[in-house]
A and B are shown apart, each in its own frame.
Chain A
Amino acid sequence: MGGFLVLAGIAFAHLAVRTRQTLVAIAGVAVGVGFFLAVSGMMTGSQADFIRTLVDSAPHIILQDEQRAPAHQPAVTAWPGAAVAVRGVRPQDEVRGLKDWPAMLAAARAQPGAVAAPSLSGAVAARFAGRTEPLALNGVDPRIEGQLTKIEASLVGGHLTDLEARPDGIIISRPMADRIGAHLGDTLVVSSSAGVLQRMRILALIEPDARAGFYAGDNAAYGLLRTAQVLFARPNVVNQLHVKLGDPDAAEAVAATLEARWGYKWVSWQERSRDIRNLLVVRNIIMYAVIAAILLVAAFGIYTSVSTSVTDKRRDIAILRAMGFTERDVEGVFLIEGLVVGVAGALAGFAFGTVLLEILARLPITVQGKPLVLPLDRSLRQYLIAGAASLASALVAAWLPARKAAAVDPVDILRGAA
């Protein structure tokens, strides 16, 4: 420790006499760290917000009444690995709907912190004032569905639970209502492919609001599960289970486990949003490449500063070696110089980045006419990453000239000075 303090003392003395160059190098790191915090805070903040929306707005797992692969032919199962050709096979007409769904619902609800509900979804046509539009009607249990999705936050004019009091109620999107000229309280004539017609009254409208975090499209509609079963002429049948877990990150593993057990297609939110998440990965790569470039420029500043110091101090290096300082000591002096610039730059960058984040947080941004606060990640983790990155780049930048300093032959210098 004593040795380190001696070296640190020399390093500080070197930096102190070259104030302007030291400050420029520190400013370079500070700008790098500051922009790292601002850009990274904005990107990871928006990404976290986006993922949160993905996770919270819809069920974590949706069970659909379909298989990922057709069932194996008995001959293939009987002789695994053999070359089996089965010709002229006509798949048996399958009755749609989840078989044994109460047991699957119980299995889903048995997951830690899980909420699950059945639903029956299908295509219907809605007619109003001579206009007909297709709707994707979801028959749900309103009390539980409200816990599974953020639909309630997007509703205007009523609540999801209003469906319980009005079995003939329907909730459609505001754009759909506008398209057919319907208003809250109007009655639509809804018909299914089973030939059943039902008059349904609009109890609420779904507002396409980005901030509310839920919007399934203009054609999405909601009704009571029992009503949907009547409309589709499929009493006691459900074709989807919606599951929300205590730990959203466990959705992929839980879905795989349930799928292995029951055979149906259990789709986790991770699977549903794989393409989007891949895009986020690409976005992150671009972001970190830009930040790395900024830090690289800062590292060049440190390299220049330490390198100049090494050139200026060749005589001092020789005398230190003559005094009894080792090559590693000399290397240590210049590494400490780089480290000091890195630490000072990181601290100044933290302050600069915090100011930038504050400015971003106060930017007056409006989306669809409503004020929007930028989602920013201002967590300690961001500061730790920025600090570690700046210190690492400072050490690497200082290491090269420090090695050069350690390699100085004192005899060459002293002979030249004599």
Chain B
Amino acid sequence: MTALIDLKDVTRRLVDPEPVTLVREVSLEIQPGEFVAVVGPSGCGKSSLLYLLGLLDRPDAGSVRIDGRATETLSEVERTHLRLERIGFVFQFHFLLPELTAEANVALPIRRLGRYSRREADDRAHDLLAKLGLQAEAHRRPDRMSGGQRQRVAIARALANDPAIILGDEPTGNLDSVNTRLVVEEFQRLAHQEGRAVVCVTHDAGVAAAADRRIHMLDGRIVPET
């Protein structure tokens, strides 16, 4: 079975403002249907690894294959298009566009991909929000919603183009326990029922425990679970 995400000896360094290696020789395979938690102390390179998986950043060494496709040789536009089509991000802060309604936020990546008409995109966004129990919030702006609702809208937006990979960067970091549980259950459903690969960077032991696999990082490396 081809891994949905396949990293081989990936290294990422920064030279500015001072030389630092964020990710060191990381190799990793993630299969469809897996819910993986990336854990480790602050500054260990978890988020940097996530940005490499999400094609937001390029490795200095090693290779990143997404859905069997080598990404090193892709142009920036091709990488962006691959991200638009195959990868959905959920961040600690919801990062919804404050001027747009929940439905418009979710419809944005659908409309950008251009496979659906505006009406179809809006309907699709509406359905996604309904699935996450946010039907009543569809026409509200983010500032009129609770933190949990906003984060679920952000999940709906990440699912907008039906991506195979969901990447979460501390997605429950700002949520109470009830909303954290809702988000974790949603991630489990996305992985186990819909066959997506879910990779979640977290400090939350409960979230890590709910994952199928935990990847421990320390000083940019993957280390064995202690």
Q: CB within 8 Å of B: which residues of A?
A: 2-3, 5-6, 9-10, 13-14, 16-17, 315-316, 318-319, 321-329, 410-411, 414-415, 417-418
Contact = CB atoms under 8 A, between A and B. Distances in A.
B77 interface: yes
Given A2-B114, A6-B108, A418-B170, A322 B99 contact: no
Contacts of A415: 47-48, 51
B98 A321 contact: no
A299 B161 CA distance: 39
Nearest to B115: A2
B113 A324 contact: yes
Given A6-B112, A411-B57, A324 B80 contact: yes
Contact of B91 (A2, A13, A414): A414
Contact of A13 (B47, B54, B81, B100): B100
A169 B104 CA distance: 88
A4 to B, nearest CB: 11
Contact of A321 (B47, B56, B104): B56
B137 interface: no
Given A13-B99, A319-B97, A326 B56 contact: no
Interface stretch (B1-9, B32-40, B82-90, B178-186): B82-90
Nearest to B154: A319
Q: Which 10 interchain pairs have the tightest Cβ spacing?
A: A324-B84, A13-B99, A319-B95, A6-B111, A324-B83, A326-B80, A322-B89, A2-B114, A323-B109, A411-B57
B60 interface: no
A329 B113 CA distance: 12
Given A2-B114, A410-B56, A316 B97 contact: yes
Contacts of B113: 324
A3 B114 contact: yes
Contacts of B157: 323
Contact of B169 (A2, A3, A323, A418): A418
B129 to A, nearest CB: 17
19 contacts: A2-B118, A5-B111, A13-B97, A17-B98, A315-B95, A321-B56, A322-B83, A322-B95, A323-B83, A323-B108, A324-B80, A324-B87, A324-B161, A411-B51, A411-B56, A411-B57, A414-B91, A418-B47, A418-B169
Contacts of A319: 91, 95, 97
A10 B97 contact: yes
A323 B56 contact: no
Contacts of A14: 99
B120 to A, nearest CB: 11
A328 B92 CA distance: 27
A326 B77 contact: yes
Contacts, number: 84
Band of interface residues on B = 35 or more
Contacts of B89: 322-323
A322 B93 CA distance: 14
Contacts of B111: 2, 5-6
A329 B112 CA distance: 9
Contacts of B109: 323-324
Nearest to A410: B56
Interface of B: 47-48, 51, 54, 56-57, 76-77, 80-81, 83-85, 87, 89, 91-93, 95, 97-100, 104, 108-109, 111-114, 118, 157, 161, 169-170
A234 to B, nearest CB: 86
A414 B56 contact: yes
Nearest to B167: A322
Contact of B112 (A316, A323, A327, A417): A323
A37 B99 CA distance: 36
A417 B169 CA distance: 11
Nearest to A323: B109
Given A13-B97, A319-B91, A415-B51, 13 more contacts: A2-B111, A3-B112, A6-B111, A10-B108, A319-B95, A321-B80, A323-B108, A324-B83, A327-B76, A328-B77, A411-B51, A418-B91, A418-B169
B84 A323 contact: yes
Given A321-B80, A418-B92, A5 B118 contact: yes
Contacts of B108: 6, 10, 323
A29 B38 CA distance: 52
Contact of A325 (B112, B118, B169): B112
Contacts of B114: 2-3
Nearest to A7: B112
Nearest to A329: B112
A315 B98 CA distance: 11
A184 B100 CA distance: 84
Among A9, A324, A326, max chain B CB count under 10 A is at A324
A293 B163 CA distance: 51
Contacts of B118: 2, 5
A410 B97 CA distance: 15
A103 B143 CA distance: 90
Contacts of B57: 411
A10 B108 CA distance: 9
A43 B170 CA distance: 65
A326 B113 CA distance: 11
A182 B109 CA distance: 91
Nearest to B87: A324
Contacts of A5: 111, 118
Nearest to B201: A418
B39 to A, nearest CB: 15
Contacts of A17: 98-99
B169 to A, nearest CB: 6
A25 B41 CA distance: 48
